[in-house]
């Protein structure tokens, strides 16, 4: 089956079914990203130092988040396929294992953040004021990891079954709470004391705890097939744990290496000054408004490919995978256009230096140019993952980043005086080679596999 034969034809019924699954999650992520942008603008009112401090502290959070999501993603691969096979017993065991394994990882990351906050911030930037402010933020923010893990396990399991409305509603409550508390605790409104960046951390912690409580209540009252009792949390077979872990190790390594790699790239770019550090953080937050497409397509792929693989409808799953690549490319055209247009307005809403505003705007324009390429590579990643081909995802994603992208950017940053925007554009252009590698892995079709037969 030829991949490119699908790029110039769209099945209207398939597009409709994909969008029905993807749009609720895209809306959810858009709400989250929009509120994150508002939060970012609030912190930005405190100046470049505060904004840079929070941005760098959140870099470590992204490493934690992606690392744990690697384990959860491996579990959802099996959960989705067991759903296709209508195997409730293994669905429950998979959900339990996702919680236990994720909290083991969480404990490791939490201890690092709690014990060594200043060392974490100083890795990203060498500025005493930023390090001190970022440390104060991280010492509180690290406690958010605890409720976040359970929320991630539940929401990912819901999406694996195609239930995207509940995560949407929970996120709306969570982000509105976070925004309101940010307004109160950062600036001291409605009788609260003004805590500055510490207030932003406290607001996030409160919102995350509320989010977790809502998920627990929803699951308790629902009839989801993976629903389990607390006393049974450790009730899963060793064989299942072994197979999931085998799939999870490459994903966890990949997600951790990728997020750490993104932080390393930031460190390389930040070598050119505080304005670059601030601008890159701004651009990343704004671009999240458009990267919601990735989240929507991830869920659509899990349902339209993973579930069919579990039901042993391999030919249909394979066709759906190629159709999703085609759909993602067409959708990316809309999103890259909106991202490019936003670069002329949104960065200038921040209360930071004019240099930072101009740089953030330019970063966004470059991202928009490469957005279609990002989407193609990301959809290939989701398809490979849905069939359990996690080794290929590791090779073409994070291994590619550390072998090609990071060394190239590091050389340009530390060994030349190249303009930062030129350096960034050259770094992003490596995704062209990455797309060639991704295409090769997709066409091998090792991802067209029913994993449910592997576990007794």
pLDDT in tens, 28-41: 778 777 766 777 77
The pLDDT, as a whole number, for residue 412 is 95
pTM: 0.81
DSSP 19: H
Average pLDDT over residues 10-23: 87
Which of the residue ranges 26-30, 145-149, 173-177 has the most confident prediction, judged by mean pLDDT?
145-149
Q: Which helix (H) or strand (E) holds 81?
A: helix 48-84
The pLDDT, as a whole number, for residue 87 is 92
Nearest to 173 by CA among 202, 151, 143, 144: 151
Q: What region, left, alpha or beta, does residue 191 occupy, with left being phi > 0 and alpha being psi -120 to 50 degrees?
A: left
CB atoms inside a 10 Å sphere around CB 223: 6
Structure token digits, residue 180: 């309101």
Give 31-69 pLDDT, tens digit per residue: 777 766 777 778 878 877 888 888 888 888 888 888 898
Nearest to 252 by CA among 106, 138, 50, 377: 106
Residue 116 to residues 62, 110, 131, 196: CA-CA distances in angstroms? 16, 10, 12, 22
Structure token digits, residue 306: 């993973």
- Return the percentage of the chain with pLDDT > 90, whole number: 55
Give 316-329 pLDDT, tens digit per residue: 999 999 999 999 99
pLDDT at 268 over 60: yes
The pLDDT, as a whole number, for residue 390 is 84
pLDDT at 428 over 90: yes
The pLDDT, as a whole number, for residue 153 is 96
The pLDDT, as a whole number, for residue 35 is 65
Where b means 16+ CB within 10 Å and e means fewer, 85-103 reads bebeebbbbbbbbbbebbb
What does the alpha-carbon distance between residue 447 and residue 301 come to, in Å, rounded to a whole number?
12
Give 110-123 pLDDT, tens digit per residue: 999 999 999 999 98
Longest dimension (CA), the chain: 65
Where b means 16+ CB within 10 Å and e means fewer, 162-180 reads bbbebbbebbeebbebbbe
Least confident of 228-242, 258-272, 315-329: 258-272
What does the alpha-carbon distance between residue 9 and residue 82 come to, in Å, rounded to a whole number?
31
pLDDT at 175 over 80: yes
Give 187-211 pLDDT, tens digit per residue: 999 989 999 999 999 999 999 999 9
pLDDT at 272 over 90: no
Least confident of 211-215, 251-255, 270-274: 270-274
CA angle 50, 53, 54 (to 5 degrees): 90
Residue 267, phi then psi, degrees to nearest 5: -60, -40
Give 344-393 pLDDT, tens digit per residue: 999 998 887 899 899 999 999 999 999 999 999 999 999 998 888 888 88
The per-residue pLDDT of the chain, averaged, comes to 89
């Amino acid at each position: 089956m030829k991949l490119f034969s699908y790029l110039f034809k769209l099945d209207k019924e398939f597009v409709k079914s994909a969008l029905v699954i993807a749009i609720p999650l895209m809306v959810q992520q858009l709400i989250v990203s929009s509120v994150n942008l508002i939060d970012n603008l609030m912190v930005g009112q405190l100046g470049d130092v505060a904004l840079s401090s929070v941005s760098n502290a959140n870099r470590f959070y992204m490493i934690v988040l992606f690392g744990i999501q690697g384990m959860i993603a491996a579990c959802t691969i099996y959960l989705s396929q067991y759903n296709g096979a209508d195997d409730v017993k293994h669905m429950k065991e998979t959900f339990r294992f996702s919680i236990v394994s994720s909290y083991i990882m969480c404990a490791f990351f939490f201890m690092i953040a709690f014990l060594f906050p200043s060392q974490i911030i100083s890795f990203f930037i060498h500025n005493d004021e930023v390090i001190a402010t970022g440390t104060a933020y991280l010492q509180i923010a690290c406690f958010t990891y605890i409720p976040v893990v359970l929320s991630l396990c539940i929401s990912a399991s819901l999406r694996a079954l195609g239930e995207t409305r509940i995560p949407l509603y929970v996120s709306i409550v969570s982000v509105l709470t976070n925004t309101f508390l940010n307004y109160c605790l950062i600036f001291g409104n409605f009788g609260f004391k003004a805590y500055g960046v510490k207030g932003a951390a406290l607001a996030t912690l409160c919102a995350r705890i509320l989010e977790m409580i809502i998920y627990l209540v929803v699951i308790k009252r629902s009839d989801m097939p993976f629903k389990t009792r607390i006393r049974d949390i450790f009730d899963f077979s060793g064989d299942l744990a072994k197979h999931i872990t085998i799939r999870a190790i490459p994903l966890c390594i990949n997600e951790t290496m990728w997020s750490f790699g993104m932080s390393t790239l930031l460190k390389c770019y930040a070598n050119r000054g505080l304005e670059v550090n601030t601008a890159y953080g701004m651009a990343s937050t704004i671009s999240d408004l458009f990267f919601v497409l990735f989240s929507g397509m991830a869920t659509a792929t899990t349902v339209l490919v993973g579930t069919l693989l579990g039901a042993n409808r391999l030919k249909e799953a394979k066709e759906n995978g190629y159709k999703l690549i085609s759909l993602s490319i067409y959708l990316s055209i809309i999103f890259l256009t909106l991202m490019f247009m936003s670069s002329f307005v949104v960065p200038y809403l921040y209360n930071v230096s004019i240099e930072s505003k101009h740089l953030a705007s330019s970063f966004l324009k470059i991202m928009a140019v490469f957005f279609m390429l990002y989407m193609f590579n990301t959809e290939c990643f989701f398809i490979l993952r849905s069939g359990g081909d996690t080794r290929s995802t590791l090779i073409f994603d994070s291994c590619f980043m550390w072998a090609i992208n990071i060394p190239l950017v590091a050389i340009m940053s530390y060994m030349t005086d190249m303009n930062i925007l030129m350096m960034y554009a050259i770094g992003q252009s490596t995704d062209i080679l990455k797309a060639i590698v991704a295409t090769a892995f997709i066409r091998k079709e090792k991802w067209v596999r029913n994993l449910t037969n592997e576990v007794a």
